């Protein structure tokens, strides 16, 4: 008993210790908390120090948020009421957070401020203004221009970059024939930003009266499609090239990018210096580039609004804007700041300055991310020739209207509360009934009360952090919970099974379902067999230096996805990747491994198997240790050979483990996510979209949380069906589960 | 030990050739990562990359240590990964023992229920868990970071599968000798389960060590960031310093490899087998 007590005390002490690790809250009156992303998150310290010097007694706490995950971080902070005073915010995110009612309206501060809002570029103003109310101030801008190889252009007979659409098309044809191999222009098939620039240039408008301008959309598609049809740009294999190297080799002598590319080219490709230049985008009926960049916003929850405004005003003014360019290289949103000699004198920046006057921001609707995704799909379908340009426009218009449609449904708080309670009690009651039904006595003998103590910590944690959230998301799957309701429960209404019915009419979801099944059907058997084979090899008596080989097989599992993705991208590179080099040796044509609709999914399966097989291998290795040698000795005495040993001893003894591994791997593969998320984003044409990736996009990019939850439950049903099947098979094989 | 078998030289050669090829395939990206971390920017993206840098440079590491307070974030990561591993191994092994060897009503049903919860994709529960932690006042704390992950159905299932293989006779003998259930668990079951506990330790540690989104969301101050979060914060939206990124990946992977090397020593043959006989 003394032992029991000691361990209980230890466990309790550990729990208590964890509880005390909470950070003390900081709440000084003159303190501002500012979040900024990535490199800006570190550099903003320098601006904060200038501000602190000018305003004694003020302390600014800056926090750098990684760009990956910044969206999720901001949403959870708003929902959890943990937002900072000020945050950097991407221009396309503004409407969503405004819709969540998270942003402080700023018009009240403007009259008494020295800030001249007319000094900002029109496109930069647009992303902060909604119905004449300011919700943020521009911090820095970026816009897109052409990067081109001057030497190759000269070879094609061009001293200057063409100024309009017709000229650019002729230029591309001349450029392609003036060099061997490769293409003229890196034109992605699924980049809504690039499509929109051409569409705007062609005179098209978005969400002005109609969702799209008839004729202008078709004209843009026709113009771009010519580049693909005449092999001036690749229909497949364009999205997975390494842009810098393709620029150097001349594979892609022209591409569209933002200001960050200048320093990137200088650092990564110093040997190219003097052989490339920037140019404004060729004009269509008018000039239009894409206005990107970031704003600074104040959250409604900020307790120091006056001070927060003072800081925002400081950052947005022309003086600090010019200074910020020196600190970070970010382009100023203030026109006056562009008079600084460092900006005005740089010839490579001049095309950016030209574009900034007319650059446009996407429409200020909260559903923009969702619309942008639909634009990608529509453009891709049209340039691949699956539908006509006219049909693509009609389909896209209908889709946009559906996304923007709002239901005016209202339900009383009492009704919602009752329904939520009922929906909560339904699964909870079912579980209680399930557990209490049947014989009360413990199977196989008397009840050992000590079992409760053993179960308590794990079951308690699972109940709070797994079971309750699962029930909560089940309730959510019956609601229209979206970004308007993220921060405001009154806007959430129950819609019954509408989300579930909607999913079965959603082509993206159905594609995701199909791909997920293919992925699991191929991936699971391959992965498990490979793991078992490798575990047996690792366990072979013959093998020396076992530790080394074990580590080697496990390395892919522990290597971070970022590094893995970088290397696999190179392996799959259509221009010079290892796979295409190998095909070249045996005389086969090069393939677009990640951009071919048929090949993309198998390519991801290969990568997933490579990354994951070591995981199951070490489970098998661990299990192999528990097979007693005496069994092998006795069968050896009977004259059995190695193969018989495997079939009669090893495999039956691994049955429990193999069953576990198969069930777990199936569950894991049906939740296929990381590979398409990082490698293809679900493309091309949704050929690598998976259920969990789509769920993630709907939930965390578009905030259709109800819809995403419904998706999770359909997937759950699928996994449940597979797992039950496996359990049934196991029961039949064993008869004792 | 079984009698040492004799293999023909041809068989040996084929076996080692196979092992060599498979190791090259699995290790290649790791070597690549290591070599990239020592390359200069101009060498990283080229048409014909070399395995070894042509010009070795420590710039990636220097920039990394200048941009990130390495020791602070390393410390945070160690606290997170070690506490999570210790707690999860303890809690999950305890629950697994109850499911495998103790008798209580509804045992199979409760276990089946746990398995079912594992099938709900984790992404949908993130927001509810965040709100629950907020209501408990555990945001921005290690408790909030660690507790939700300290019990995992996957791990309970894995250890239980292993424990059911252990013969009941061993436990009966111990009970006759007057061992309490806790003593049996601690002094008999855990040692017998060494290979699987070692495996689970590795999984828990690496899961927490590489975890990104959860620590980012829970920790509201930069000085509480774990290493992967701090490393990811260095990158710009469009600009990536690949040498720095790969140097960071190397720094993150080294402790994980060490943990694995330590754990795999426990893959020792025949403990369970010996115990059955004795």
Given a cut of 50, is residue B277 above it in pLDDT? no
Given a cut of 80, is residue A556 above it in pLDDT? yes
Given a cut of 80, is residue A390 above it in pLDDT? yes
On chain A, the residues whose CB falls within 8 A of the CB of B186 are 3, 7
> Three-state SS for A464?
helix
Highest mean pLDDT among A538-542, A607-611, B166-170: A607-611
Does A625 contact B195 at a Cβ distance shorter than 8 Å?
yes
Distance from CA of B66 to the nearest CA of A (A): 11
Using 50, 70 and 90 to split pLDDT, how confident is the model at B274?
A: very low
From the options 3.40.190.10, 1.10.3720.10, 3.40.50.11540, 3.30.70.890, give the CATH code of A174-288+370-404.
3.40.190.10
Contacts of residue B167, defined as CB under 8 A and 6 or more positions apart, other chains included, come to B276
Block residue for tokens 């894991």: A668
Any alpha helices (H) in A203-304, and if so which ranges?
216-229, 243-249, 260-268
Mean pLDDT on A583-610: 89
Least confident of A320-329, A476-485, A639-648: A639-648
Mean pLDDT on B47-66: 85
| pLDDT of A16 | 42
Does B113 contact A462 at a Cβ distance shorter than 8 Å?
no
Rg (CA), chain A: 30
Are A247 and A575 contacting, i.e. CB atoms less than 8 angstroms apart? Answer: no
Distance from CA of B23 to the nearest CA of A (A): 6
Paired tokens of B43 = 């060498």
Does B115 contact A41 at a Cβ distance shorter than 8 Å?
no
Using 50, 70 and 90 to split pLDDT, how confident is the model at B273?
A: very low
| pLDDT of A144 | 94
Mean pLDDT on B196-207: 92
Fold equal for A26-143+292-345 and A174-288+370-404: yes
On chain B, the residues whose CB falls within 8 A of the CB of A637 are none
More confident residue, A678 or A52: A52
| pLDDT of A444 | 56
Mean pLDDT on A468-491: 86
On chain B, the residues whose CB falls within 8 A of the CB of A19 are 143
Distance from CA of B38 to the nearest CA of A (A): 14
Under 8 Å CB pairs connecting chains A and B tally to: 401
Are A279 and A185 contacting, i.e. CB atoms less than 8 angstroms apart? Answer: no
Contacts of residue A458, defined as CB under 8 A and 6 or more positions apart, other chains included, come to B91, B92, B94, B95, B151, B156
> Three-state SS for A488?
coil
Tell me the C-alpha distance between A88 and A137, whole Å: 10
Asked whether the bond before A216 is cis by omega within 30 degrees of 0, the reply is: no
The DSSP call for residue A190 is: S
The 10s digit of each residue's pLDDT in A227-280 is 999 999 988 766 667 788 889 989 999 999 999 899 888 888 888 999 999 999
Using 50, 70 and 90 to split pLDDT, how confident is the model at A282?
A: very high
Compute the C-alpha angle B221/B71/B197, nearest 5°.
90
Are A204 and A220 contacting, i.e. CB atoms less than 8 angstroms apart? Answer: yes
Contacts of residue A570, defined as CB under 8 A and 6 or more positions apart, other chains included, come to A242, A577, A578, B49
Note the maximum CA span of chain B: 72
Mean pLDDT on A703-729: 89
Phi/psi at A276 (5° precision):
-140, 160
CATH of domain A502-734: 1.10.3720.10
Q: Please give the C-alpha separations between residue B135 and each of A720, B131, B144, B213, in angstroms, as whole numbers.
A: 31, 6, 11, 20
Helix (H) or strand (E) holding A63: strand A59-65
Distance from CA of B220 to the nearest CA of A (A): 8
On chain B, the residues whose CB falls within 8 A of the CB of A563 are 29, 32-33, 245-246, 249
Helix (H) or strand (E) holding A720: helix A705-734
Given a cut of 50, is residue B272 above it in pLDDT? no
Mean pLDDT on A464-489: 87
Tell me the C-alpha distance between A582 and A560, whole Å: 27
Mean pLDDT on A542-568: 86
| pLDDT of B2 | 44
| pLDDT of A540 | 84
| pLDDT of B5 | 61
Are A221 and A385 contacting, i.e. CB atoms less than 8 angstroms apart? Answer: no
| pLDDT of A565 | 84
On chain B, the residues whose CB falls within 8 A of the CB of A671 are 121-122
User: Nearest residue on chain B to A5, judged by CA atoms?
Assistant: B182
Proportion of chain A above pLDDT 90, given as a percent:
49
| pLDDT of A685 | 82
| pLDDT of A238 | 64
Mean pLDDT on A612-621: 91
Mean pLDDT on A51-80: 90
Identify which of A708, A713, A678 has the alpha carbon closest to the alpha carbon of residue A506: A708
Identify which of B188, B209, B96 has the alpha carbon closest to the alpha carbon of residue B145: B209
| pLDDT of A22 | 41
Nearest to B131 among A79, A542, A633 (CB): A79
Does A558 contact B131 at a Cβ distance shorter than 8 Å?
no
Given a cut of 90, is residue A335 above it in pLDDT? yes
Q: Crossing angle of helices A165-177/A216-229, nearest 10°?
A: 10
Are A697 and A253 contacting, i.e. CB atoms less than 8 angstroms apart? Answer: no
The DSSP call for residue B55 is: S
> Residues A604-607: contacts with CB within 8 Å, 24+ apart?
A604/A519, A604/A675, A604/A676, A604/A679, A604/A680, A604/A688, A605/A519, A605/A522, A605/A523, A605/A526, A607/A564, A607/A568, A607/A675, A607/A679
Which sequence spans correspond to the domains of chain A? 26-143+292-345, 174-288+370-404, 414-435+449-479, 502-734
Does A692 contact B1 at a Cβ distance shorter than 8 Å?
no
On chain B, the residues whose CB falls within 8 A of the CB of A443 are 103, 105, 107-108
Paired tokens of A712 = 């999770």
| pLDDT of A29 | 56
Phi/psi at A401 (5° precision):
-60, -35
Distance from CA of A210 to the nearest CA of B (A): 33
Any alpha helices (H) in chain B, and if so which ranges?
9-36, 41-44, 59-67, 70-101, 107-117, 126-135, 142-146, 153-164, 168-176, 181-183, 190-192, 194-210, 213-218, 227-233, 242-264, 271-277
> Three-state SS for A640?
coil
Tell me the C-alpha distance between A515 and A406, whole Å: 31
Q: Please give the C-alpha separations between residue B107 and each of A6, A185, A401, A461, B163, in angstroms, as whole numbers.
A: 27, 65, 52, 18, 15
Are A673 and A692 contacting, i.e. CB atoms less than 8 angstroms apart? Answer: yes
Given a cut of 70, is residue A441 above it in pLDDT? no
User: Nearest residue on chain B to A251, judged by CA atoms?
Assistant: B47
Does A462 contact B153 at a Cβ distance shorter than 8 Å?
yes
The 10s digit of each residue's pLDDT in A406-419 is 767 788 888 888 88
Proportion of chain A above pLDDT 70, given as a percent:
94
Are A390 and A157 contacting, i.e. CB atoms less than 8 angstroms apart? Answer: no
What does the buried/exposed string (b/e) look like for A637-666 if buried means 16 or more CB atoms within 10 Å of the residue's CB? eeebeeeebeeebbeebbebbbbbbbbbbb
On chain B, the residues whose CB falls within 8 A of the CB of A449 are 104
Given a cut of 90, is residue A154 above it in pLDDT? yes
| CATH 1.10.3720.10 describes domain B70-240+252-277 | yes
Mean pLDDT on A276-300: 94
The 10s digit of each residue's pLDDT in A669-690 is 998 888 888 888 887 888 899 9
The 10s digit of each residue's pLDDT in A63-77 is 999 988 888 899 888
Using 50, 70 and 90 to split pLDDT, how confident is the model at A734?
A: low
> Three-state SS for A255?
strand
More confident residue, A105 or A734: A105
Tell me the C-alpha distance between A319 and A643, whole Å: 79
Indicate the average pLDDT of chain A: 87
Residues constituting chain A: 737
Given a cut of 80, is residue B239 above it in pLDDT? no
Identify which of A645, A651, A613 has the alpha carbon closest to the alpha carbon of residue A632: A645
> Three-state SS for A297?
strand
Distance from CA of A176 to the nearest CA of B (A): 20
Mean pLDDT on A109-121: 93
Q: Please give the C-alpha separations between residue B15 and each of A158, A160, A540, B9, B19, in angstroms, as whole numbers.
A: 60, 62, 10, 10, 6
Mean pLDDT on A47-66: 93
Fold (topology level) of A26-143+292-345:
D-Maltodextrin-Binding Protein; domain 2 (3.40.190)
| pLDDT of A227 | 95
Tell me the C-alpha distance between A327 and A324, whole Å: 5
| Burial of A215 per CB tally in 10 Å (0-12, 13-18, 19+) | middle
| pLDDT of A442 | 53
Given a cut of 60, is residue B278 above it in pLDDT? no
Given a cut of 60, is residue A99 above it in pLDDT? yes
Given a cut of 90, is residue A574 above it in pLDDT? no
The 10s digit of each residue's pLDDT in B135-165 is 898 988 999 999 999 999 999 999 998 888 8
| pLDDT of A239 | 63
Mean pLDDT on B169-196: 90
Confidence (pTM) = 0.86
| pLDDT of B269 | 61
């Amino acid at each position: 008993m003394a032992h029991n007590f000691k361990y209980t005390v230890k466990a309790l002490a550990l729990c208590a210790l964890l509880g005390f690790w909470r950070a003390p809250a900081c709440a000084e009156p003159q303190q501002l908390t500012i979040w900024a992303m990535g490199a800006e998150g570190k550099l903003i310290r320098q601006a904060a120090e200038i501000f602190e010097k000018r305003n004694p007694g003020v302390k600014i706490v800056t926090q750098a948020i990684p760009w990956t995950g910044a969206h999720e971080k901001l949403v959870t902070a708003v929902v959890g009421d943990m937002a900072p005073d000020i945050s950097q915010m991407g221009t396309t995110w503004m409407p969503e957070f405004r819709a969540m009612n998270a942003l402080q309206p700023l018009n009240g501060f403007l009259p008494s401020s020295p800030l001249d809002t007319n000094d900002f570029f029109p496109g930069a103003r647009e992303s902060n203004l909604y119905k004449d109310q300011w919700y943020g101030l521009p911090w820095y801008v970026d816009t897109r221009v052409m990067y081109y190889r001057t030497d190759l252009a000269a070879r094609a007979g061009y001293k200057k970059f063409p100024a309009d659409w017709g000229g650019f098309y002729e230029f591309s044809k001349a450029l392609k024939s003036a060099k061997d191999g490769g293409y003229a222009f890196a034109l992605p098939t699924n980049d809504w930003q690039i499509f929109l620039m051409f569409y705007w240039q062609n005179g098209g408008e978005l969400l002005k009266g109609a969702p799209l301008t008839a004729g202008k959309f078709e004209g843009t598609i026709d113009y771009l499609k010519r580049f693909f049809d005449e092999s001036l740009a690749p229909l497949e294999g364009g999205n997975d090239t390494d842009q810098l190297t393709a620029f150097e080799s001349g594979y892609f002598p022209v591409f569209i990018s933002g200001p960050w590319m200048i320093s990137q080219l200088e650092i990564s490709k110093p040997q190219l210096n003097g052989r490339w230049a920037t140019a404004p985008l060729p004009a269509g009926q008018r000039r239009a580039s894409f206005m990107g960049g970031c704003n600074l916003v104040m959250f409604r929850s900020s307790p120091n609004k006056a001070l927060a405004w003072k800081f925002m005003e400081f950052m947005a003014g022309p003086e600090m804007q010019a200074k910020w360019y020196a600190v970070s290289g970010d382009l100023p949103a203030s026109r006056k700041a562009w008079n600084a000699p460092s900006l005005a004198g740089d010839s490579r920046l001049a095309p950016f300055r030209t574009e900034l006057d007319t650059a446009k921001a996407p429409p200020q609707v909260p559903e923009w991310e969702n619309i942008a995704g639909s634009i990608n799909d529509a453009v891709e379908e049209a340039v691949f020739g699956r539908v006509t340009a006219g049909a693509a426009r009609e389909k896209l218009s209908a889709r946009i209207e559906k996304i923007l449609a709002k239901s005016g449904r209202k339900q009383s708080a009492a009704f919602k509360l009752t329904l939520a309670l009922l929906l909560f009690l339904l699964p909870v009651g079912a579980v209680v009934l399930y557990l209490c039904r049947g014989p009360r006595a413990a199977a196989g003998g008397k009840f050992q009360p000590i079992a409760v103590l053993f179960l308590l910590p794990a079951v308690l944690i699972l109940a709070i952090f797994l079971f309750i959230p699962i029930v909560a998301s089940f309730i959510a799957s019956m609601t229209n919970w979206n970004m308007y309701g993220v921060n405001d429960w009154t806007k959430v209404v129950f819609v019954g099974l509408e989300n579930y019915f909607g999913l079965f009419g959603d082509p993206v979801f159905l594609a995701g379902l199909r791909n997920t099944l293919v992925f699991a059907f191929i991936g699971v058997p391959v992965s498990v067999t490979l793991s078992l084979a490798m575990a047996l090899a690792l366990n072979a008596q013959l093998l020396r230096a076992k530790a080394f080989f074990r580590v080697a097989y496990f390395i892919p599992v522990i290597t971070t996805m970022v590094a893995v993705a970088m290397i696999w991208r190179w392996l799959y590179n259509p221009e010079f990747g290892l796979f295409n080099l190998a095909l070249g040796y045996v005389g086969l044509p090069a393939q677009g491994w990640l951009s071919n609709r048929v090949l993309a999914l198998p390519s991801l399966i290969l990568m997933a198997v490579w990354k994951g097989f070591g995981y199951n291998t070490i489970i098998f290795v661990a299990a192999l240790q528990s097979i007693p040698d005496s069994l092998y000795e006795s069968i050896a005495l009977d004259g059995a050979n190695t193969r018989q040993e495997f079939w009669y001893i090893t495999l039956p003894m691994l049955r429990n483990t193999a069953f576990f591994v198969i069930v777990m791997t199936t569950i894991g593969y049906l939740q296929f996510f990381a590979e398409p998320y990082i490698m293809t984003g679900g493309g091309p044409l949704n050929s690598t979209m998976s259920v969990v990736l789509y769920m993630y996009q709907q939930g965390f990019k578009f905030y259709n949380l109800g819809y995403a939850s419904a998706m999770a439950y359909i997937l759950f049903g699928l996994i449940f069906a597979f797992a039950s099947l496996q359990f049934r098979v196991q029961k039949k094989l064993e008869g004792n589960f | 030990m079984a009698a040492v078998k004799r293999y023909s030289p041809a068989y040996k050669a084929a076996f080692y050739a196979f092992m060599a090829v498979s190791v090259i395939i699995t290790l290649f990206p790791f070597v690549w990562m290591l070599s990239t971390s020592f390359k200069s920017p101009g060498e990283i993206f080229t048409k014909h990359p070399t395995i070894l840098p042509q010009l070795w440079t420590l710039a990636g590491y220097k920039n990394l240590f200048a941009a990130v307070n390495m020791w602070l974030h390393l410390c945070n990561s160690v606290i997170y990964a070690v506490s999570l591993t210790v707690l999860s191994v303890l809690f999950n092994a305890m629950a697994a023992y109850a499911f495998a060897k103790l008798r209580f009503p509804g045992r199979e049903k409760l276990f089946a229920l746990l398995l079912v919860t594992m099938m709900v994709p984790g992404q949908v529960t993130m927001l509810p868990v965040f709100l629950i932690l907020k209501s408990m006042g555990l945001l921005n704390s290690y408790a909030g970071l660690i507790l939700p992950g300290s019990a995992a159905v996957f791990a309970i299932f894995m250890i239980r599968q292993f424990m059911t293989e252990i013969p009941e006779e061993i436990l009966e003998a111990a009970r006759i000798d007057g061992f309490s259930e806790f003593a049996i668990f601690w002094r008999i079951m855990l040692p017998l389960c060494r290979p699987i506990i070692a495996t689970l330790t590795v999984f828990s540690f690496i899961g927490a060590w590489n975890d990104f989104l959860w620590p980012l969301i829970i920790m509201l101050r930069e000085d509480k960031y774990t290493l992967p979060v701090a490393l990811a914060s260095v990158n710009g939206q469009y600009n990536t310093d690949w040498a720095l990124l790969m140097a960071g990946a190397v720094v993150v992977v080294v402790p994980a490899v060490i943990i694995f090397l330590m754990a795999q020593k426990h893959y020792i043959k025949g403990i369970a087998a010996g115990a059955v006989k004795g």
